């Protein structure tokens, strides 16, 4: 019919490409399956040939490149490489819109912040419980032993076996056989038959997206900063190269680091210096103290020996004190003497002697004492006024010290005495004594007669 004729005219018959005949195959190489036709390989062409795909490694033909993917708007999805190896349900933040807050994104119309209903809460709770139970059951099953061996042997199994070939010549003429199936015993000392291997770990978490700045031209300084010197070891040189010192220092990286000294080194050195100074001062102070102590003890012994010598010689202590004061004043500076009023110039030679020593009638020439009189001193030590003042209080002398206990106040109190108790003395006291020191009486041997009583009691007991 007309349709078939029209179809035959439009149809272009593809002619089958056949290999060139012998003698015209110089430089020709079979590339596709049509080059081989229905035959095999061409032995005169020395290349790898795979007629009918025989011998080709099919696993190596698939490439590792990802197919190009586009989104609903026709844009290329460059984040497909970040999602490689992860499930579709996993959230991978790989776009710029992931950095924009949800309430400010244009592709999200409205966010509902209403509280979920009771049914949604129950449904979510049930899903969570099932997920947690699944995880827990997996942990429990992993902890349980896989194969629990039963010590009790299983019962034997009997099988009726009918062979396919029947006859007198087969199976000893038996038409059927009864087979007893018994479980083979397990050797407890047998090593394991299978080797456990670790399952390779799954892919890690997707890398965090890095937002790069727009491309710009790199300056010469940045290029120099990006130059990384080769790694040069200070210990190994297997090839025996002669490495210049500047290259070695550049590889060491000392020039790139800024040397900073910690302040604690200064604090430590200062603390050590202070401790050393104190450690040096302490023995010096101790030595000075020991020297002063020895000097003081030496002076004490000298003074003690001098005092003993003067006491044995009969020299009075006033003369010794005067000599000590003179020795103290001898080394005093003249300016100090003038300031203290001690430096008095001698006006004449007569002032060198005390005038009170002259014009006195006492002496050996005036008849000092009679030889028969046993009286060493010509005058009493204390005058009459001084002797009376020893035993009687002076007038207004102890008013401030003893709270007004002078003679007038005491006499006034005695005159005002209403009952006459203050004028009474103690029984047995001496009332006639007014002047002189206190007189003591000798104590009696046994005033109450205790010794006599004890002696009598001892005699009576015997």
Q: What is the DSSP secondary-structure string of 17-37?
A: P-PPPTT--TT----SHHHHT
pTM of this prediction? 0.21
Q: What is the spatial distance between Cα 74 and Cα 84, in angstroms, rounded to a whole number?
A: 20
CB atoms within 10 A of CB 398: 14
**Which has the closest alpha carbon to 92: 103, 81, 102?**
81
Q: What is the spatial distance between Cα 357 and Cα 370, in angstroms, rounded to a whole number?
A: 23
**Which has the closest alpha carbon to 325: 300, 346, 342?**
342
Predicted pLDDT of residue 252: 73
Using CB atoms within 10 Å of the CB of residue 159, give its burial: 0 to 12 exposed, 13 to 18 middle, 19+ buried. exposed
Query: In the beta sheet, which residues pair with residue 160?
Result: 178
**Which has the closest alpha carbon to 210: 393, 82, 21, 391?**
82
Phi then psi for residue 161, to 5 deg, are -110, 125
Whose structure tokens read 């004028």?
423
List the alpha helices (DSSP H) in 167-256: 220-225, 245-252
Q: What is the spatial distance between Cα 379 and Cα 149, in angstroms, rounded to a whole number?
A: 137
For residue 33, give both structure tokens. 């399956």
Q: Is residue 151 left, alpha or beta, with left meaning phi > 0 and alpha meaning psi from -120 to 50?
A: alpha
Predicted pLDDT of residue 160: 92
What b/e readout covers 126-154, taking b as 16+ CB neighbours within 10 angstroms? Answer: eeeeeeeeeeeeeeeeeeeeeeeeeeeee
Judged by DSSP in three states, 383 sits in coil
pLDDT by position in tens, the chain (length 462)? 666 666 565 554 445 567 888 878 888 888 888 888 777 888 888 888 888 888 887 665 555 678 888 888 888 888 888 888 888 888 888 888 888 888 888 877 777 778 999 999 999 999 999 999 999 998 898 887 665 555 667 789 999 998 888 877 777 778 888 999 998 888 888 888 888 888 888 888 888 888 888 888 989 999 988 888 777 788 888 888 888 888 877 777 677 777 788 899 999 999 999 999 999 898 888 888 889 999 998 898 898 888 888 888 875 555 555 555 666 666 566 666 665 655 555 555 555 555 655 665 555 555 556 666 666 666 666 655 555 556 555 555 555 555 555 667 767 776 666 666 655 666 656 555 555 666 777 777 777 777 787 888 787 654
Beta strands (DSSP E) in 153-279 are: 157-161, 177-181
For residue 7, give both structure tokens. 């179809």
């Amino acid at each position: 019919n007309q349709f078939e004729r029209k179809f035959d005219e439009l149809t272009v018959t593809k002619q089958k490409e056949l290999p060139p005949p012998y003698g015209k195959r110089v430089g020709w190489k079979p590339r596709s399956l049509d080059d081989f036709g229905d035959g095999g390989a061409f032995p005169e062409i020395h290349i790898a040939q795979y007629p009918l795909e025989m011998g080709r490694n099919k696993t190596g033909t698939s490439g590792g490149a990802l197919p190009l993917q586009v989104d609903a708007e026709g844009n290329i999805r460059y984040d497909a490489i970040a999602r490689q190896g992860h499930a579709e349900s996993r959230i991978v933040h790989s776009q710029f819109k992931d950095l924009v807050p949800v309430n400010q994104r244009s592709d999200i119309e409205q966010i509902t912040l209403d509280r979920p209903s009771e049914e949604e809460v129950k449904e979510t709770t049930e899903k969570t419980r099932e997920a947690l139970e699944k995880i827990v059951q997996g942990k429990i099953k992993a902890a349980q032993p896989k194969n629990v061996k039963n010590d009790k042997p299983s019962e034997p199994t009997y099988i009726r076996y009918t062979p396919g070939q029947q006859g007198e010549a087969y199976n000893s003429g038996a038409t059927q056989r009864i087979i007893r199936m018994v479980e083979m015993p397990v050797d407890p000392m047998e090593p394991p038959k299978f080797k456990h291997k670790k399952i390779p770990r799954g892919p890690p978490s997707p890398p965090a997206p890095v937002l790069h700045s727009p491309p710009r031209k790199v300056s010469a300084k940045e290029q120099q900063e990006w130059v990384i010197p080769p790694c040069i070891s200070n210990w190994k040189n297997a090839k025996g190269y002669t490495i210049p010192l500047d290259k070695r220092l550049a590889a060491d990286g000392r020039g790139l680091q800024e040397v900073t000294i910690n302040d604690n080194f200064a604090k430590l050195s200062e603390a050590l210096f202070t401790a050393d100074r104190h450690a040096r001062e302490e023995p010096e102070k101790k030595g000075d103290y020991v020297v002063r102590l020895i000097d003081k003890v030496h002076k004490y012994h000298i003074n003690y020996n001098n005092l003993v010598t003067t006491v044995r010689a009969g020299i009075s202590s006033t003369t010794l004190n005067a000599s000590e004061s003179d020795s103290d004043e001898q080394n005093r500076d003249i300016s100090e003497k003038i300031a203290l009023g001690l430096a008095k110039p001698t006006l004449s030679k007569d002032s060198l002697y005390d005038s009170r020593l002259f014009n006195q009638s006492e002496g050996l020439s005036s008849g000092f004492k009679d030889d028969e009189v046993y009286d060493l001193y010509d005058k009493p030590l204390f005058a009459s006024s001084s002797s009376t003042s020893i035993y009687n209080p002076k007038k207004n002398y102890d008013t401030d010290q003893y709270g007004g206990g002078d003679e007038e106040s005491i006499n006034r109190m005695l005159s005002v005495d209403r009952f006459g108790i203050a004028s009474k003395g103690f029984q047995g006291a001496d009332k006639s004594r007014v002047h002189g020191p206190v007189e003591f009486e000798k104590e009696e041997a046994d005033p109450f007669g205790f010794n006599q009583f004890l002696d009598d009691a001892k005699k009576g007991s015997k």
